[in-house]
Structure formats: C-alpha cells, structure tokens
C-alpha cells in the first residue's frame, strides 16, 4: 500500500514541481521560439503518459494487492489491447516528431543574407573574426596558427586582408539580423552555447561547423563552452552582446582588421622610455618592482599580458573594487597612457629592461605547492614561464604580488568585472586554493622554477 500512495504522491509532486519550479528556460532572446513550442508539445504528450501509466500502476497495486484466497486472472495476452496501445503510442510519437523535424529543417537551412561571424575556440578562450567589407572570410590553415597569426589566416588570400579580428571573448551581433556563426577550434572540441538563444553546436578542430539564429532582444548574454575541453572547461566563458544595428556597426568599425594588425608599427622603446618615467616611480627604473609600494616587477612579463591589463585598468575592468586599494591606485596611472600607441611604446620599453629574477620572499611547503601547481601548469606552463595567448609568466616575477593577486582573485577583488573574462577564469582557479597557506605553498613552489 505505501508504495501505491508513494507513486501517487510522486506523480502529483512532479506535476507541482514542474509548475512551481523557478528553474525553467531562460527568457528567449532569439528566433528559436519554435524550439520552445516543440518542447511544450513534448511535455504535454509525455506528461500525459507519465501520469497515466503511473496512476494506473498505483491503482492496480491498490486494487489487486495480495489477499489471502484471491487469485490472479490468467490471461496470456490480449492482442486487441496490445494493438491499440501500439497504435496510440505511434500516434503520440508522431505528434512529437513531426513538428520537431520541421523546426530542424529550418535550423539546417541558413537564410539568405545572414551575417557571417566566425567563432574560434582554444583552450580556454574565445575569439572572433568578421568578414570585412568584401563580405568574405579569408581562408585559414591550422598549420599557420602562431602567436602572431592566432587565426591561422593564409596571408596570400586577399579575402583575409580586411577581416575584422576580435581578439577578446566579447562579440557583438545586430538585433533582428540573421547571424550565421562559423565555428572553428584550434585545439580540442568545444561547444558554442548561449542559453538564451537555445541553439548550440560543437567546435571541431579540422572542421568548420555552423549554427544560425536571429537575435530578438537587445542585451548581453553569456557564452558557455558545453563540450568538455579539459580542466578549464567550466571557466571558458565569453559574452555576446546584441546591439541595435547602428551600435553594432560602430563596434565593428572600432575593431582592427587583419591588414591593420599585420602592418601596425611596433612600439618604440625610445618614446616608451619617456612615458615610463611615471611608472618608474613605483615599479622601479629597471621595472624590477618595489614591494614597499606594492608595485610588482614588470620586466620579463609577456607584453600581451601587460597590454591587456593596462587596457583593463583603462576600461574600468580592473582596479574598481572598493577593497582593491592598490588596483585603485593603478587605474588613474594607466589612464595617463592615453592611446594604444603610447601603451605599445611603454611595453616595448619594458621589454628592453633587464630581466633579473625578483627575490623570493614567500615561504611555504614546496612539495605541497608542487602538487597544487599541476593545475596551474595547464595555462602558465610547467616552467611557470607562461604560455603566449594563454596565461602570463609567474616564475621569477614578484612572488608577494602573485600571493596578493591570488587572494584578490579568490575574494573577487579582481576578475569580477563581467568583461574581464581572463580574470574571471583565474578567479575560478584561485578559488580551488582552500586557504592562504595553500596560496603560499604554490607561490613558494613557483619560486623554485
């Protein structure tokens, strides 16, 4: 008996849970409302079966539970009943499948005039590429991937010159325009998924896959990777911004093209030396860092990382948390480097400074730190020298600064701005360090590299 009651309670409970649950589809922001409709149809049909079968089961248990002297009916089969059940089931299945196939047919046919946007995935970052004025993306070759040519664009292909390169994990798309995302991966499988758009597709190295959608609501949505791609899988985040068409155009125009990047003049260290005078007050004339002033060592750091951080400060993605006092001090300093060119010059100058390893000040359990560092090594490299386009160098840099920043990441003082996606990623990783001691251990290990 209790089992029959339990079944009834579970059925009723499931229905109540379904209708009362605050956890359901996110408000849709694309044209794929048809998918939601198909889901609803499926819910109705399967819900009917679920309730019917289980209530009947409960009723049968109550009515035919064991009674002394009772006898079960002997009925090997009932062809008519089985026949009808088969027919009804088939009809139910067809009712769910048919609309599904129609919607799928829409999904596989990309409408004429859809905007092409290329999504490039790598462990564990997103970047994007848009065709330039010619409307065509330049062809690429996986063998050409390099730090200078992160997209693997074939330089000989003229279509590639005006391709717009978005070298960060934030992409914009115009409202009300069908967009076809071409998906490409540089290393392993990834999956491009935005919950509010409903559709998703894998990025497969060696292959170009696609999906299309038409955004219907202005806003910013999170891109998640939904194909296990290694230890940073959960931290591989990006953002897609749905803009009014004019805002979209403005954004496109502000992004550099492949040709511009190829022909960009490198930073001038001589000019940079002049601008660096401001920095030297805290970071030292040799970029060696000054612990007393909470200014870390700069020399020997990956120039891309330095540039990204300066821009983060300038754009208000870093140094804005009220408890991040030293970050707050840095923000106005970064603002004094007014243009990209000035930033490039300063970084070029830093590149000329002698790279003497910073003194080790943090003490911890090196053996334990080595165990913890296995995780870090996936981005920062087993030697702590950093991996270009992945994560900065740690070995030989100011260790007290590493410790401070680990704390900042863990407490959300750094990497909490939605557009600081690298920072967000580091936040995920810093939170796996349980306490200050674990952080000291890992930094102590880095000191040995």
Query: What's the burial of 364, exposed, middle or buried (CB within 10 Å: 0-12/13-18/19+)?
Result: buried
Phi, psi of 90, deg, nearest 5:
-60, -40
Tokens of 216: 């219907």
Q: Does 224 bind other proteins (CB under 8 A)?
A: yes
The smaller minimum CB distance to other proteins, of residues 10 and 278, is found at 10
Rounded to a whole number of angstroms, the minimum distance from the CB of residue 389 to other proteins is 7
Query: Which residue among 8, 136, 175, 188 contacts other proteins (CB under 8 A)?
Result: 188
Phi, psi of 358, deg, nearest 5:
-70, 150
Residues between 100 and 129 with contacts to other proteins, criterion CB under 8 A:
100-101, 103-105, 107-108, 122-123
- Name the segment binding other proteins (CB under 8 A); options: 159-167, 297-305, 356-364, 380-388: 380-388
The smaller minimum CB distance to other proteins, of residues 219 and 332, is found at 219
- Name the segment binding other proteins (CB under 8 A); options: 128-136, 144-152, 157-165, 303-311: 144-152
Interface pattern 405-424 for other proteins (x via CB under 8 A): -------------x-----x
Q: Does 205 bind other proteins (CB under 8 A)?
A: yes
- Name the segment binding other proteins (CB under 8 A); options: 36-44, 153-161, 285-293, 398-406: 36-44
Those residues with Cβ within 8 angstroms of residue 136's Cβ, 6 or more apart along the chain or in another chain: 159
DSSP string, 195-242: GGG--EEEE-TTS-EEEEE-B-S-EEEEEEE-S--STTGGG-EEEEEE
Q: Does 19 bind other proteins (CB under 8 A)?
A: no
- Name the segment binding other proteins (CB under 8 A); options: 164-172, 196-204, 290-298, 302-310: 196-204
d(CA 118, CA 208): 9
- Count other C-beta atoms under 10 Å from residue 388's C-beta: 17
Query: Which residue among 22, 254, 263, 322 contacts other proteins (CB under 8 A)?
Result: 22
Cα–Cα distances (Å) from 20 to 14, 16, 46, 51, 221, in that order, read 10, 6, 18, 17, 25
Going by the DSSP 8-state scheme, the letter that residue 30 receives in this structure is: B
Residues between 244 and 303 with contacts to other proteins, criterion CB under 8 A:
none
- Is there a contact between 345 and 356 (Cβ–Cβ < 8 Å)? no
Q: Does 90 bind other proteins (CB under 8 A)?
A: yes
Q: Does 304 bind other proteins (CB under 8 A)?
A: no
Rounded to a whole number of angstroms, the minimum distance from the CB of residue 10 to other proteins is 6
């Amino acid at each position: 008996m209790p089992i029959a009651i339990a079944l009834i309670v579970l059925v009723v409970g499931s229905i109540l849970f379904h209708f009362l649950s605050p956890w359901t589809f996110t408000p849709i922001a694309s044209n794929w409302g048809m998918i939601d409709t198909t889901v609803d149809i499926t819910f109705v049909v399967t819900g009917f079966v679920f309730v019917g079968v289980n209530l009947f089961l409960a009723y049968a248990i109550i009515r035919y539970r064991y009674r002394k002297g009772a006898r079960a009916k002997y009925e090997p089969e009932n062809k008519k009943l089985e026949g009808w059940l088969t027919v009804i089931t088939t009809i139910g299945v067809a009712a769910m499948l048919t609309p599904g196939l129609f919607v799928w047919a829409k999904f596989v046919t990309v409408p004429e005039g859809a905007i092409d946007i290329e999504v490039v995935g790598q462990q564990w970052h997103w970047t994007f590429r848009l065709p330039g004025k010619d409307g065509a993306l330049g062809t690429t070759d996986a063998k050409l991937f390099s730090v200078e040519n992160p997209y693997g664009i074939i330089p000989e292909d003229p279509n590639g010159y005006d391709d717009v390169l978005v070298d960060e994990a934030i992409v914009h798309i115009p409202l009300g325009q069908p967009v076809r995302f071409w998906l490409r991966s540089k290393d392993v499988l990834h999956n491009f998924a935005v919950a509010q758009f409903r559709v998703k597709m894998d990025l497969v190295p060696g292959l170009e896959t696609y999906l299309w959608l038409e955004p219907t609501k202005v806003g910013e949505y999170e891109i998640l990777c939904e194909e296990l791609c290694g230890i940073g899988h959960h931290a591989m985040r990006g953002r897609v911004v749905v803009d009014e068409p004019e805002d979209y155009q403005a954004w496109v125009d502000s992004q550099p093209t492949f040709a511009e990047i190829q022909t960009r003049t490198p930073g001038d260290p001589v000019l940079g030396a002049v601008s660096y005078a401001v920095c030297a007050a805290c970071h030292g004339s040799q970029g060696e860092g000054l612990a007393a002033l909470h200014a870390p060592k700069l020399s020997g750091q990956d120039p891309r990382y330095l540039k990204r951080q300066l821009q983060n400060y300038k754009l208000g993605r870093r140094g804005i948390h009220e408890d991040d006092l030293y970050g707050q001090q840095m923000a106005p300093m970064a603002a004094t480097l007014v243009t990209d060119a000035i930033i490039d010059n300063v970084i070029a100058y830093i590149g000329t400074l002698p790279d003497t390893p910073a003194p080790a000040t943090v003490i911890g359990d090196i053996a334990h730190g080595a165990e913890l560092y296995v995780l870090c090594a996936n981005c920062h490299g087993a030697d702590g020298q950093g991996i270009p386009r992945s994560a900065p160098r740690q070995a030989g840099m100011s260790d007290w600064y590493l410790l401070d920043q680990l704390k900042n990441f863990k407490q959300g003082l750094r990497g909490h701005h939605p557009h600081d996606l690298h920072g967000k990623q580091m936040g995920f990783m810093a939170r796996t360090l349980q306490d200050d001691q674990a952080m000291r251990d890992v930094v102590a290990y880095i000191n040995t590299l």
